[in-house]
Amino acid sequence: MSALCEATGADVAQVSHAVGKDTRIGHKFLNASVGFSGSCFQKDILNLVYICECNGLPEVANYWKQVIKVNDYQKTRFVNRIVSSMFNTVSGKNIAVFGFAFKKDTGDTRETLAIDVCKGLLGDKAHLSIYDPQVTEEQIQRDLSMDKFDWDHPVHLQPRSPSSVKSVSVVWDAYEAAKGAHGLCILTEWVEFKNLDYKKIYDNMPKPAFLFDGRNVVDPQKLREIGFIV
């Protein structure tokens, strides 16, 4: 839906609100995002795919596979948007990442969209500075060094001491994360990200300063008035 809104110039918040008036859907499940995250949703869908395939329903299984594909597309689209906006490369550039947990008010990072976004940026040789108020540096480094779904293995089968991912630093202050960054990505809807002094952040970034809001957290017009490319 967000891709369609972007293509047509529609306001994603207004469209979400309108669709959410349908009580069968509800407004709580239509917040803008880079994709759905968390340990349950994708695993439940994949379980449904497995059940359909085991019961001779390949067409139904393929239908649910498309949900996963569209979700992966959304994350890839976000990374591609960052790269294309920043002159078609983030190689050697500093990118601040605000938020790593799969949602606010938790330190849970299982299947968080931030893993895919960060890996996509690292694939183009970006330097990342990550801040999340509840996720530890050890957890972030572990998530970025493990293969998909390794987190779901028994602890003794997980990498015992994952090597630190090069080009990634984890800090405990949003302003420190953004200092010297060429671009800033918001990947978790922490309330504190709404209340930051973005003028201060802008002043400490090289120009042009890019901001990519993956959670519809900030007011883009106000940020553009400061000078950000949003």
Catalytic residues: 40
- Report the interhelical angle of 58-85 vs 113-123 (nearest 10°): 50
